[in-house]
Structure formats: structure tokens, C-alpha cells
Structure 1
Amino acid sequence: MKKRTGKRLFEYAMLFKKPILFALLLLSAAVSVELAGPFVAKQMIDRHILGIESPWYEADEGARAVSYNGDWYKRGDRLDEGEATGQEVRILQVGRKFVFVDQPISFDGSRKLEGSQLTITNGSNEAVYPAQVLAVKQLYAFYEPEFKSLVKLAFIYFGLIVIGAFFSYGKGLLLQTGANRIVQKMRTDVFAQIQRLPVNYFDNQPAGKIVSRITNDTEAVRELYVQVLANFFTGIIYILGILAALFALDYRLALFTLPIIPLLYIWIKVYRKYASAFNREIRERLGSINGMINEAIQGMPIIQAFRRQKETIREFDELNQEHFSYQSKMLTLNSVTSHNLVQVFRNLFFFGLILMVGGGSLGMGIVVSVGVLYAFVDYLNRLFQPIVGIVNQLANLEQALVASDRVFELLDEEGVEVSTESMERYKGNVKFENVTFAYKDEEYVLKQLNFEAKQGETVALVGHTGSGKSSVLNLLFRFYDVREGTISIDGKDVRDIPKQMLRQHMGIVLQDPFLFTGTIASNVSLNDPSVSRERVQQALRDVGAEEMFKGLRHGIDEPVIEKGSTLSAGQRQLISFARALAFNPAILILDEATASIDTETEAVIQAALEVLKKGRTTFIIAHRLSTIKSADQILVLDHGEIVERGNHEDLMRQQGRYYQMYQLQQGQSGSASADQAEAEVLPARL
């Protein structure tokens, strides 16, 4: 049963949990420090700025006492325990003026100053008090005792900002480092999985699509850890921290903000419902585009030779247009549910706040202090910042989840673990018994095949295209497994031998040899530490390639670019022969190894073949029959069946199908039988 994508992403994250968990601790600390700021601001406003409106009492001269009209006054919350006090007085703000009232006030409400009379109204209640307007110097005297505390709190506020910045930097660095480690591991796993996959997987998947999963899709996953989860973690912790701070500030205002949580949840659910489908199509189209680009680059000589540029561009434009169409749908969805919608909800909440708090002056709302109101507005602004961050990352979240599905789909493909074990070199006695095989159901390419190749023998496979020659070798290498029958090596069923161990003592030379980026020497040794440089040189010498490569500027250290395109076909083939010889296989397979080289190089390779075949079982697929005259066995295949077998002389004496094919290639056609042979051989030669 497949695991859910989210769970698997979490498991990858847990592989590097230390930096991630430490980053979350730093994030929590950063949020705590940052959210302490409004509380400090509230303290500055309510206690030290608006605290001037607290009750004042006549007192003795001393610390924090203020002189006014010959008397000394001290704020009630500044009095020492047991300190004697006199009459209570008040300092109140009316508009832009401050007034001194030499008596307590009964209630507070709307204030109005007319001359030296202060009128306070609260509903139907009204009170009038004599008041004296304070001059600037007099007002300054009442504020002066608070300056030291205000400066101290200002430094604390600034310090919190600096500390929070350091915590945020550490959090970001650790999260990104952890994310890069996760994606590095994921890419390694995906690439390792490719090595485990059977060959038939690559038969059915364009290379560009596989490359897209390793590069584009894993990069989208990296964005999930670096950007999306960072914003989601930060946002969730901020939201929870702000809600906790709001409840500590005023539970009534905190309850007012709680609907934001279900609203955000519904928002994300609705967005994901539509975005998931769009993003899946976008990733599929992107993979198809990469596949087509890869195919076009590989086949550019054919495209240009047959003047297919316009048609290729048209096909690419169709794919590109489909990709653009889904991108446009995604863009529309993002525009509808973007941060602009967040701002709409933010403004609605602020409107509700105005109604709640503003109604307090009419006796219908919540009455709060200016400091609490300031802190609440600050927190409300901060609350919508992480929501904007989360909403803005929803598109990346869906892209990453779709990309993750594609990556995990590849990782879930059934493969074979790469074995590091080794086995003793087998002799190479190969036996096919009643082997039947089909690539697709009921479309058999081999039917009841029986033959035996003993150690040191050379077996040649000939026949028209589609006769099953390459399928024999695919089964021997276990690129595919037989449907019916048995293939054995030294009496042991190949299915009982791990694939890597089986292939350890096999070598193959293809018609179009594949060379890797590196040097000639590295292409012979394949960077296997068990293959020494002396062994590489000896292998090149044995196949007759040493003199050919001596003329190059760097000799066998000459750079080789992708597919060896700077080397001739003969040079590439000789490197392939040397590679097979350097690994000293017990079974050697030559798949049209001399089909695409010139006659002069073929003579060199024919001599190399004699060296290669010594002491090992050799299978040769050949259309050029002159290259297999010395084979111990020649098997003539037709539609998956062996119709003739024997050595060259035996088959020539039979004057059957092999004889007709050989005569045709030697230019001795003219009879009806030769015409028939030509009809069979022509597709193979094409």
C-alpha cells in the first residue's frame, strides 16, 4: 500500500530533523521576542504616557514628586508603602490641552472645556469641575518622572527587534540548509532508483520525462521545504502566538479574531481542490516538453536532413500552448485567491473592530485603554502578515505536492537492488531450453528456442529484422526474463542469480557503442578501481587501437564529450572492444559490432575479435555474414524460431536460407532463390 505523499515528505524531513527542529526552536523564540514588542509599547502608552491621567495626591517632596503652585504631588501608583498623602487631584486631556483638576472625578466620559470649567458627560450623567489649563513647562514637569522609564522601555523594544532579527536569520539559514540536504538526498535516491529499474521501463518512458522528474520535480520539492514549509511553519507559530497574546491582552477582542482560523482552513481547502488538477497537468506538460526537446536535440541531423523543422516547431508549439493554457488557469485561480482577498478580509475585521471599540463611547461596545487598542491593532496587522505569507505559498505548495507525487511514483517503480556482492567467474556454458518470450501479451518474438553454447565457442545469430536475434541477448543479460522455458549458465538458472552478479562476467559491444563524458581511458575502465591503467593500455594494445590513439594530442587521456561525437565510428568501436576485453568477461556479446565501420577498420576489429574470443563464450549478431564464417555455430532465426543451424560450411552445403543470404551479399544473385533472399535481407540492411 502506497504511503501518502505528506507522510513520505515528513519522513524525508526527519532524516535531517536536528537542523529543522533547532530552526523551529529559533522560530518560536523569534516569534516570542517579536510579539513581546506590542506589550512593551502598551506599557509605554498606558503606564508612562497616558498614566498621567491616573489619580495624583499631595505628598512630601521626594523622588518622582512634582511641584505645582507651591505644592508637591505624586502619582498614586508611585507612592511608597505607608507614605502619607493629602488631597487627590487629576490631570486630564481635553482635545490638545491638559488641565489640572484639584479634586477627584466621579466618572469619566466625553470631556468639554469652556473657560475654566470642565464638563464630563457619560450618557445621562453630567459633572462640572473647575480646571486650570497647564502650560507646556508645567505639563513637562508632570511627565519628567516617566522619562527614565520610557527610555529604558524604548531600549528594550529596540533590543527585542535586534534579537528577533538574529533568531529569524538563524531560523532561515537552518531551514534552508535542512531543505537542501533533504532534496540532495531525494535526488540521490531517485538517481539510484534509475539504476535499479529494468530496461523495459526506459523502453516505455521518454528520457526527457525522466530527466524532468530528477531535476524540475525535485527542485519544486526543494521549494516546498525552503519556501512553503518555512512560511507555513512561521505563519502557524505566528498566528498561535498572536492569538495567545490577544487573549492575554483582552479575551473579548481575541474572540473577535477567532473566525480567521476556520476561514483560512476553508480557503486552503477550496484552493487545493482546483489547484491540484491544474498543477498536475502543468507538470505533465512540462515533462512532455522536456521529452520533446531531448528527442529533437538527439535527432537534429534527421530533422534537418528531412526538412522537418516546421513540423517539429508546430508539435512543440502545441505542447507549449497546452502548458500555457493550464498556466493561465492557474494564474486566474491565484489572482482570485491571492493576498488581495486577504486585504479584503483584513479591512472587514478592522471595520468590525471600529464598531466594537467605537461603540464604547456610546455605551454599546467594548471599552479599552488606548494602549490596549494600539497593541490590538498592531497584533491584528501582524496576524494578517503570516496569513498573506501562507496564501502566497499555496501555489508553490500544490506544485510541490504534485511534483512529489511524480517523484514518489518513480521511486515506487519495482526495481532490483544494486548488489555489491561478487561471484566467481563462471565458465560460460550457456543453454536455452524451450525458451518462449513476448514483449507484449501473446506477441511472441521467441518460440520454443533450444540451443547450447559451450565454453569458448562462438555462436552467431543471423536473420531478418524482427527475427528475435537481439531478444536472445536481452534474455541472456536478464534485461527481460523468459515467459516459458529455462536459460542456464553452467547448469544454473539465470533467474536464480542476482542480475548484477550475473552481468559481472558478461561483456557487450553494441553496433553504436555508447561513450561517456570523460577520457578514452575512463571509457575503457568505466572508472572501476579494479581496472588498472596498465590493464587499460594492454586492452587497447590487444585490440589494435594503441597506434590509432597515440596520434591524439593527449593520447588515451584525450577528452571524450557526450557520446564520443568527436571520434570516428571505428575509434568508438575499438574503445568499446577494449572496454569488453579490460573486464575479462566469461560471456561476450557482439551486437552488430562491425556493421557501421569501414573495411580497413573492420580488418583491425576482426583481428581484435580473435583476441577477444579466446577462452570465452561469444555471441555475435551479424548481418554482414563474412564476419561470422569462423563461428562454431550459426543459428538462422525466422520469426522467433531456429530454422537452420550449423557452421558456415554445413549451412553452405545445405543451400538453404543462409546460403541464399550469403550468395546475395557476395553479389551472386540472379536466381529465384536469390530474389527471395533479397526480400528477407533488405529490411535488415536498411
Structure 2
Amino acid sequence: MTTGRRLLNYALAYKKLIIAALVMLTISVVTDLAGPFIAKSVIDQHILGIESTWYETAKSQKAVHFNGKYYKREKYLSEIDQKGKQVSILQVGTKFVFIDDGIQFDGKRSIKNETLIIKKGSEQAEYKARILKGPELLAFYQPEIPGILKLLAIYFGLLVVSAIFQFGERFVLKKSANRIIQKMREDVFGQIQRLPIQYFDNLPAGKVVARITNDTEAIRELYVTVLATFFTSVIYITGIYAALFILNAKLAAICLLLLPLLYLWMIIYRKYASKYNRIIRSRNSEINAMINESIQGMSIIQAFNREKQSKEEFENLNHGHFKYQNKLLNLNALTGHNLVGILRNLVFVAFIWYFGAQALLPANVISLGILYAFVDYINRLFQPVQGIVNQLANLEQALVAGERVFTLMDEAGEDVSEERIPRIKGNVAFENVSFGYKEGEYVLNNINFQAKPGETIALVGHTGSGKSSIMNLLFRFYDCQQGKILIDGKDIKSYPRQTIRDHMGIVLQDPYLFTGSIASNVSLDDPWITREKVEKALKDVGAEKVFKHLENGFDEPVIEKGSTLSSGQRQLISFARALAFNPAILILDEATSSIDTETEALIQEAMDVLMKGRTTFIIAHRLSTIRNAHQILVLDRGSIVEMGNHDELMAAKGKYYQMYQLQQGGHGLAG
């Protein structure tokens, strides 16, 4: 399905609102476009209408008193009016003259010594004329004033109606656009929750954020501004062409040539603009990714004096973004306003040529009202054309942004399962498990072991030996390529990921805290974790002693990542979080390595209580903390090289023995 079609499908979810907006838009356009027709009537029927045929009559309504007699326009004569001698009022230059007779034909007019001369080809007629002075001319206009005021009142009323419906259309359309983007952002964020962990291994967080924020904001502009402009422009253009055909079908047909020219230009523009916008959006994501990375690692950047290098790297990215923004700007500048100006001039040339040719034909009389209406409509025609041209850049940005968003949404994910199962016993078995983060590059090879319910399994080994990979597989952040992992005798892949994780808890070496409070970071706002459970978990891990000096106690605010707390305090909160969820399988990934000796002593007893009745996996650097483990797995280059309890492994005097002796001798162990 194309990007445009998918964007349309999002819009169709709120089609009632959009249809209502389009109906209001149509009413607004129709009432607005009635203006030139009303102006034409005012000019032709009233302002220039006094040039029509007049008759001498008796005193009555709309009769004009002049030179001792009463005269009335033919249009205002009723059946009861006495129709006397025909007279004429004609305009000659800037003056109006009164002729006490009808004219035989009309043509080029001139006045000399109170004599009106009318020439038409070889014919010429002369009439005795009287030039009307200001008050006399105003008297002949008096019958027209009520009609003019009525039309002006209608015109003002239509403007008010147009403004009301235009406001309604914009409000409803923007409301629907905001709802569309709200739903899209929710869908994108929901998709992120569905994506496997390995998706984020190769995609920086800044790029993901850019797709949720910047790209969806560009799409919002599509619904709020671009589509609103396109809808308005299309309806305006349709209405203007309808009005032009009513006024003069031949000139309207000439103006139709504008549409294929505009369509051809759009094709050419999109060819280049699409390319530039893809690069611009990509550079924008890279800039966001680098900013995010720089902020996260600012302490390292400043500690190692990398400010200059970081700035240079950013400037390189920013220069690339600037370069293609300029190319797009040049494309818009060269083809946007210039194109509309050229098209406008071409249409006006055709308009002048047509009306000039018509005016030269003796049989044709072109009224000033029609001329005004045509000029007005042609000027109005280029307003929506200009609007379409101006929004093409935003349209391309939105389509490219939509393509990037839908690429993310098309990634294979897994729906969050609501399935729940009874508490598991915690019997874990790895059978011939091999796994690699990249195809063909295994980091675990033929792993076999079994953990019985309630046992503590310790994983030790140097960095890269595969300790964390085993935990990643158990938590189903990744799935193994070979072999299988069993929980209570059932393949772990047969459970939905969320279902099995309900019975697992994890404490990481570098605990992650969310913005909120200490209590909310323990419960993670799970309705099943009551305040009593939160407080009990914190007390059990000894947190009450550590946090008792805080002003708000367990409700003390926590900012992003808990940066105002010490590593030991963050670890205590993470430990209490695992305890509160009461898991059957517990994973401690270097859980005590970042805690000072005093804090470790506080939680050591709580750890013993926590691990009782649970299958616990411990990844430890300090081997002294795992002496009581039921099994110790010694890993080296992705394989288990030794297995047994502390006493058995020490008696074997193998790799574990060497590692333990090194630590006891005061040497640090890498890992």
C-alpha cells in the first residue's frame, strides 16, 4: 500500500469531521465567490444602468423630476404608468448628457457645442444634447440607490456567512487533523512496544524519537495546512471556473489551459523535491541521534576534552542538512512564485487579447460589469494556485516523513499479550542452546544446564564470555537459533513474551529509573502493586534507612534516570521493584557491583529473603558474593567450561579457582 493511501486511511477514520469541514468549506467558497456577480449587477444594472432607455411619465415612485417633467427608466415602468416620449441618457467621456429623443444606433460618441455625435462605421447621427450637472445627474441616480444598498447588504451578509463557515471549516479540519496525528503517534509508540530488542541495537534512540516527533509533526502539517489548502484551492478553482463559464464560455475554456500546465509542473517539482526531502529527513534524524548521544555522554565528553571534536562532528552533519535545505530552497524559489507569475501574465494576455478583439466587433458590446467580474475572478484564480504551489514543499516533506513512519510501523513486531498463566514453579533448563546476535556469529555454543525451583545459579566469566546473553535469552529479549529453553518442562517460545515475563524479575547493574517518585519507580504504576507492597519492598531491602532523611520520603521526586540519586540508592529502588513484583525467577545482573560496602551490607539479608523459594540467576564480578550458590557456571568464549558449587570448583583448581585466587589476592577481575 502506498504512503499516500495509508495517510488517506488515517484520514478516513475521521471522515465525518472531514466531510463536515468540506461542506462548510463549499458554503464558504460559494458565498465568497458570489461577490463579483453582485459587483457586476451593481455596475451594470445600477451605476451604468441610467444609460438605458427612459420614458416621459407622470409623477410616481422612482420617477425623476427634470426640466419640469418626470422621467422613468423602462425597467421600472409598471402597467399603470403612462408611457410618454422616449428619451436617452448617455455617457460621453466623463460627462453624462440628456437627449430628448431615442437614438438610432450606438457607436463612438463625442460632443461638440451641445451636439452629440455618434459614429458607427460610415454612419453618423447627431442629437441635441444637454450636459447634466451634478445635482441633475444625482437626481437620475436616486432610483438606483435602494437597489445598490440592497445588493450591498446581500454582499455583506454573504461575507459574514462566508467568514462563519470558513472559521468552522478551519476549526473542524484542524481538530480532525490533530486527532489523526494523535492516533498516529499512539500507533507508532505502540509499535515501538511491539518491536524486539534487537531492532534498537542498530537504531539510535534519537532516530526513533525523530520519527515519533519530527516526522509525525511534518505529517500533521499535511492534514492541518496542506490538505486544507488543497481542498480550499480545488473548490475555489472549481467555483471560479464555473463562474467564468457562466460569464463567458470561450475565455473560460482558454483559462482551462492553466490546469495541465500546473499538473506538469507538479510532476517535475516532486521529482526533485522528493529526493531532497528524503536526505533532509535522514540528516535530521542523524542530528537528533547525535544530540541525544552527546547529552547522555556529556560527562565523558567533558572529562576527556572531546568538546571540539563533538562540535566538529555535529557541524558536519548540520552542514549536510543545510546544503540540501538550500537545494530545496532554490528549487522552491526558482519554480514557485516565478511560475505563478508567468501563468498569471499568460492568462491576462489572453484575457486582454480576447476582450480587445471582442470590443473591435461592432455587434459586440462588452459591459464594464463583465470586465470587472472577469478581472476579479482571474485575480482570485491565482490565489488558490499560489496556495497549491506554496504547499507542495510541505506535501513532499509530509510524504517522505510518512514513508519513514510507515517503514517503522511495518517492522515485524509482536502484539502485547494479555494472556495470564498461574505462577510458574521456576524449573529452568537450557538444552543445547546456541545463539548469536548476528547470523553465523555465535556468542553462546551448546549451553546445557538445569536450575531447579528455589536454586541459585551463578554465572561467572570474563567480559564477552556470554553471561548476559544467557540472561537475555531467558528473558526472551532474544531467541536462540539452536536448541531450546524450557520452563517447567515447556518450551519458552510457546509462551507469549509478556506472559512469561509476568513471573520474572530483573535487577540490572545500571538500574533505569523513570521520571516520577521513588514509590512510582517501585510499582511502575501497576495497579496490582499497592502502596503497602511498595513500602514493604522498600523496607525489606533496607531503603527506609537510606531514604529517611528525604523531605518527601518515598514520594521524593525522581528526575530522568535518577541522576540526583547515588548509584547505591538507584540500585536499592531497582531491587525493591523486583521484590514488589514477587517473581518466580529472579535475575541479578551485576546487582551489587555498583553498591558500596555499607549499602551492600544493608541489602544482603534482604537478598537472602528474596531468593528463598525463587529460582535466582546471579551474574557476579565479586566471587565472594556467590559462595552459597547451588550451582556456579563458569563461562569462557560462549561455552560452559566448569560447573559445580563453590567447594567443588575450588577443589578442582581450574579456571574458577584461578579467578577466585586473583580476587582474594587483591587483583580486580575484568568483566
Give the TM-score, by structure 1 length.
Answer: 0.95
SS of structure 2 residue aligned to 1:443: coil
Q: Larger deviation: 161-170 or 15-24? A: 15-24
Aligned counterpart for 2:50 among listed residues 46, 49, 52: 52
Kept in 1, the 8 Å contact 2:460–2:633? The answer is: yes
Q: CA deviation at 1:387?
A: 1.2
Where do 1:72-111 residues align within 5 Å? 72-81=70-79, 84-111=82-109
Where do 1:308-323 residues align within 5 Å? 308-323=306-321
Where do 1:330-479 residues align within 5 Å? 330-363=328-361, 367-479=365-477
Q: CA deviation at 1:249?
A: 1.8
Residue matched to 2:518: 520
RMSD of the alignment, in Å? 1.7
SS of structure 1 residue aligned to 2:436: strand
Q: CA deviation at 1:267?
A: 2.0
User: Which amino acid is the alignment partner of residue 105 of structure 1?
Assistant: I
Q: CA deviation at 1:634?
A: 0.7
Residue matched to 2:637: 639
Kept in 1, the 8 Å contact 2:633–2:642? The answer is: yes
Residue matched to 2:591: 593
Residue matched to 2:172: 174
Distance 1:6 1:39 in 2: 38
Residue matched to 1:225: 223
Q: Larger deviation: 273-282 or 126-135? A: 126-135
Distance 2:570 2:68 in 1: 109
Kept in 2, the 8 Å contact 1:123–1:363? The answer is: no
Q: CA deviation at 1:169?
A: 1.1
Distance 1:324 1:367 in 2: 58
Cα deviation, 1:228-271, whole Å, max 9, x if unaligned, reads 11111111111101111111222122122111211221222221
1:622 aligns with 2:609: no
- Cα distance change on mapping 1:62 and 1:284 into 2, 3 Å: same
SS of structure 1 residue aligned to 2:109: strand
Residue matched to 1:275: 273
1:240 aligns with 2:238: yes
Residue matched to 1:324: 322
Aligned counterpart for 1:491 among listed residues 476, 489, 505: 489
Q: CA deviation at 1:365?
A: 11
Cα deviation, 1:289-308, whole Å, max 9, x if unaligned, reads 01000000111111111111
The alignment-based identity, stated in percent, is 63
Residue matched to 2:67: 69
SS of structure 2 residue aligned to 1:425: coil
Kept in 1, the 8 Å contact 2:455–2:616? The answer is: yes
Aligned counterpart for 1:613 among listed residues 611, 614, 630: 611
Residue matched to 2:26: 28
Kept in 2, the 8 Å contact 1:207–1:291? The answer is: yes
Distance 1:587 1:108 in 2: 105
User: Which amino acid is the alignment partner of residue 95 of structure 2?
Assistant: K
Distance 1:531 1:123 in 2: 102
Distance 2:473 2:485 in 1: 8
Number of aligned positions between the proteins: 671
User: Which amino acid is the alignment partner of residue 259 of structure 1?
Assistant: L
Distance 1:138 1:145 in 2: 13
User: Which amino acid is the alignment partner of residue 640 of structure 1?
Assistant: G
Distance 2:211 2:106 in 1: 70
Distance 2:40 2:466 in 1: 86
Distance 1:664 1:18 in 2: 74
Any unmatched runs of 5+ in structure 2?
none
Residue matched to 2:252: 254
Q: CA deviation at 1:366?
A: 6.9
Cα deviation, 1:626-668, whole Å, max 9, x if unaligned, reads 1111111111111211111011111111111111111111118
Distance 2:296 2:483 in 1: 38
Residue matched to 1:675: none
- Cα distance change on mapping 1:668 and 1:29 into 2, 3 Å: closer
Distance 1:215 1:199 in 2: 21
User: Which amino acid is the alignment partner of residue 358 of structure 1?
Assistant: G
SS of structure 1 residue aligned to 2:78: coil
SS of structure 2 residue aligned to 1:397: helix
- Cα distance change on mapping 1:255 and 1:121 into 2, 3 Å: farther
Distance 1:192 1:137 in 2: 79
Q: CA deviation at 1:557?
A: 0.9
Aligned counterpart for 1:558 among listed residues 556, 578, 587: 556
Q: Larger deviation: 195-204 or 358-367? A: 358-367
- Cα distance change on mapping 1:256 and 1:647 into 2, 3 Å: same
Give the TM-score, by structure 2 length.
Answer: 0.97
Residue matched to 1:146: 144
SS of structure 1 residue aligned to 2:460: strand
Residue matched to 1:579: 577
Aligned counterpart for 1:17 among listed residues 12, 15, 26: 15
Distance 2:260 2:362 in 1: 28
Kept in 2, the 8 Å contact 1:358–1:365? The answer is: no
Any unmatched runs of 5+ in structure 1?
670-677
Residue matched to 1:661: 659
- Cα distance change on mapping 1:668 and 1:574 into 2, 3 Å: closer
Q: Larger deviation: 267-276 or 333-342? A: 333-342
Residue matched to 2:505: 507
User: Which amino acid is the alignment partner of residue 639 of structure 1?
Assistant: R
Q: CA deviation at 1:171?
A: 1.2
Aligned counterpart for 2:262 among listed residues 261, 264, 268: 264
User: Which amino acid is the alignment partner of residue 417 of structure 1?
Assistant: D
Q: CA deviation at 1:623?
A: 1.9
Kept in 1, the 8 Å contact 2:359–2:366? The answer is: no
